[in-house]
Chain A
Amino acid sequence: MRVISHVAVNVFKESVRDKVLYSLVGFATLLIAASYLIGQLTAGQDVKIIKDLGLAAIATFGLLIAVFIGIGLVWKEVDRRSIYSLLAKPIRRHEFIVGKYVGLALTLLVNVAMMTVAFYAVLAYLNTQFPETVRAGWPAPATDPGMLRAIALIFIELLLVTAIALFFSTFSSPFLSAALTVGLWVIGHFNTDLRNFESVVESASGAYLARGLYYLLPNFAAFDIKTQVVHALPVPPSYLVTTTAYGLAYIALLLSAAVVIFERRDFK
């Protein structure tokens, strides 16, 4: 654990000294703030628009951070040969992989927290701009803490994206890792279509293949409860628990696969 925490802190240090990260977080915060102006263009829909845009900004910029830092985590160490000095020290290869992952998860946590604070600050300001009579007509208060559930699932989704990026970065180039990670993310958001594939095709083998892919590929759509929280629709706690457990299990599987590949790798 001690070694993992040292590696994780080093990844965190690397991330917070990376200018790209600041640009992404800065831009996300700007977009969240700008949603206030966009909201004013839509009569009576201000709060909903700000909530929609804010949550979408947190998810999108979190995704960019997870992919662009995640794909370089291992590759950069190998390419620049900084891994040589590190792995010659009393550190096991799986500790290196887990440490890298935990470091990026920590970075993501801080960034998502910063974007969440900006999001709630804009909503709190908006809350002061409307009289009580208008506020009473909203389906949920502007600063509804229920939205934290959506942000929590966004965070789990980002952790999963990071695990995918890390998995690919143990054996492929950053470009390929980015393409594969984003590809999986896109497919994962349309995963439900794979489940329903059998109702639109006649081929039995095609239906089996689609069903197999449905179970194999990560189901990112499951983490998206933005619409429910914005419209104050009920989200059962059991759903949150099972989705989180699904995400964590998938992450554990990916990290195990990354460790198996990394353990056998030659650093030429």
Chain B
Amino acid sequence: MDAIRTEQLTKHYRVGFWRSRPYVALDGLTLDVRQGEIFGFLGPNGAGKTTTLKLLMQLIYPTSGRAEILGRPVGDVGVRRRIGYLPENPYFYDYLTAEELLEYFAGVFGYAAAEGRRRAAALLDEVGIGAERRLQLRKFSKGMLQRVGIAQAIVNDPDVVFFDEPMSGLDPLGRREIRHLILQLRDRGSTVFFSSHVLADAETLCSRVAILAGGRLAAAGQLTDLLAFQVRGWELVVTGLTGVALEHARAAGQVVRATPLGDEHYALELPLSAAPDRVLSDLSAHGARLVSLNPVRETLEDFFVRQTAGPPRDRGLDTERRTEREHERRSEN
């Protein structure tokens, strides 16, 4: 059983006041997230990440398609007992203290008052909220609210946790602590589904990712596959390379870029078309010595940019035009 499964999940909104027109926020998202994995849900602002999370929390209803969590429909109250959710830029009741908020939410999950207090105290310790826990939340900074938000998302020891931009508003130390917490959750057996546009977080944490662009799934898979997927060239580091030999290699189109690292010591970027052993042999003939040779792989950031590049997709919903475009796209493929 998958932790999360969506099939052709679609959400249209009507935008505009006077002559309102439809807007496609999410377009046919099909996704599966396995139990126990950390799944990164990536995409630029407006890609549809938060819309997806709201659909999974049933804060909004889909126009079409379906979604399941732990094999049950998303609206099922039994499922909600087993999940946790941190909204983007969370805001809580500012008249409550952090302690009271967690105790309130623990009560909603059915924990007795004493157990609620125990959980609140332990979780606030875990997310690094100290004596401030007795202050009203109106006095909390954005980063502190984010920590409280993370604590409330795991107050029920959830099987699946949804974090919408969990690192938002945190300082570098806070980000490291939250990364550690996410790994701990995974080690305890929880599935973590988090959306982010901070690619470094996904690179550090995720076993699999999905990239969303313009409301559509642009790519999904294991991070290693996606990264390995495109080798865009080679990085050759040599020493003893003379200026004449470098110019010769450049003229032959064997070197795209040369970065001096020291006296006659260079990092050379070779195009994908170049055969690195032949270039190395040519350079060695001019007295250069090999230090290292590595393939230059596409980083997640490059992948992200490539997937989301190009003119913005028209997300209006003129059914006829969209159907025509779909046909064109399919025939091109």
Contact = CB atoms under 8 A, between A and B. Distances in A.
Interface of A: 2-3, 6-7, 10, 13-14, 17-18, 80-92, 264, 266-268
Given A84-B59, A85-B90, A90-B80, A267 B108 contact: no
Contacts of A13: 95-96, 100
Contacts of B57: 84, 87-88
B22 interface: no
B83 interface: yes
Nearest to B54: A267
Given A13-B96, A17-B95, A89 B108 contact: yes
B92 A82 contact: yes
Contacts of A83: 59
Q: Which of B57, B59, B153 has the most CB of A within 10 A?
A: B59
29 contacts: A2-B107, A6-B107, A10-B93, A10-B104, A13-B100, A14-B95, A17-B95, A81-B87, A81-B89, A82-B93, A84-B54, A84-B59, A84-B85, A85-B90, A85-B152, A86-B108, A88-B57, A88-B80, A88-B84, A88-B87, A89-B105, A89-B108, A89-B109, A89-B156, A90-B109, A91-B77, A266-B59, A267-B60, A268-B13
Given A17-B95, A80-B91, A85 B80 contact: no
Given A86-B108, A268-B54, 5 more contacts: A10-B93, A82-B91, A82-B92, A89-B109, A90-B80
Contacts of A266: 13, 59-61
A235 to B, nearest CB: 40
B180 interface: no
A90 B81 contact: yes
Contacts of B59: 83-84, 87-88, 266-267
Interface string B225-236: 000000000000
Contact of B95 (A18, A85, A86, A91): A18
5 tightest Cβ-Cβ pairs between the two chains A and B: A88-B85, A84-B87, A266-B60, A88-B57, A17-B95
Nearest to B60: A266
Q: How extensive is the interface on chain B, given as a class?
A: 35 or more
Contacts, number: 81
B253 interface: no
A61 to B, nearest CB: 21
A85 B96 CA distance: 15
Contacts of B107: 2, 6
Nearest to A92: B77
A84 B163 CA distance: 12
A80 B95 CA distance: 13
B110 interface: yes
A266 B80 CA distance: 18
Contacts of A81: 87, 89-91
Contacts of A88: 57, 59, 80, 83-85, 87, 162
Interface string B291-308: 000000000000000000
A169 B54 CA distance: 22
A7 to B, nearest CB: 8
B149 interface: yes
Contacts of B92: 82, 85
A85 B77 contact: no
Nearest to B76: A90
Q: Which of B13, B90, B104 has the most CB of A within 10 A?
A: B104
Nearest to B87: A84
B54 A2 contact: no
Contacts of A87: 57-59
A17 B137 CA distance: 13
A6 B85 CA distance: 19
B61 A89 contact: no
Contacts of A92: 77
A148 to B, nearest CB: 32
Contact of A85 (B60, B105, B109): B105
A6 B95 CA distance: 16
B333 to A, nearest CB: 34
A267 B61 CA distance: 9
A91 B80 CA distance: 8
Interface string B63-97: 00000000000000110110111110111110110
A268 B108 contact: no
Given A14-B93, A18-B95, A85 B149 contact: yes
Contacts of B95: 13-14, 17-18
A17 to B, nearest CB: 4
A91 B81 CA distance: 9
Nearest to A93: B58
Contact of B85 (A80, A85, A91): A85
Contacts of A10: 93, 96, 104
Contacts of B110: 2, 90
Contact of B77 (A17, A18, A90): A90
A133 to B, nearest CB: 53
A13 B13 CA distance: 36
A97 to B, nearest CB: 15
Contacts of A6: 104, 107-108
A90 B91 contact: no
A161 B95 CA distance: 25
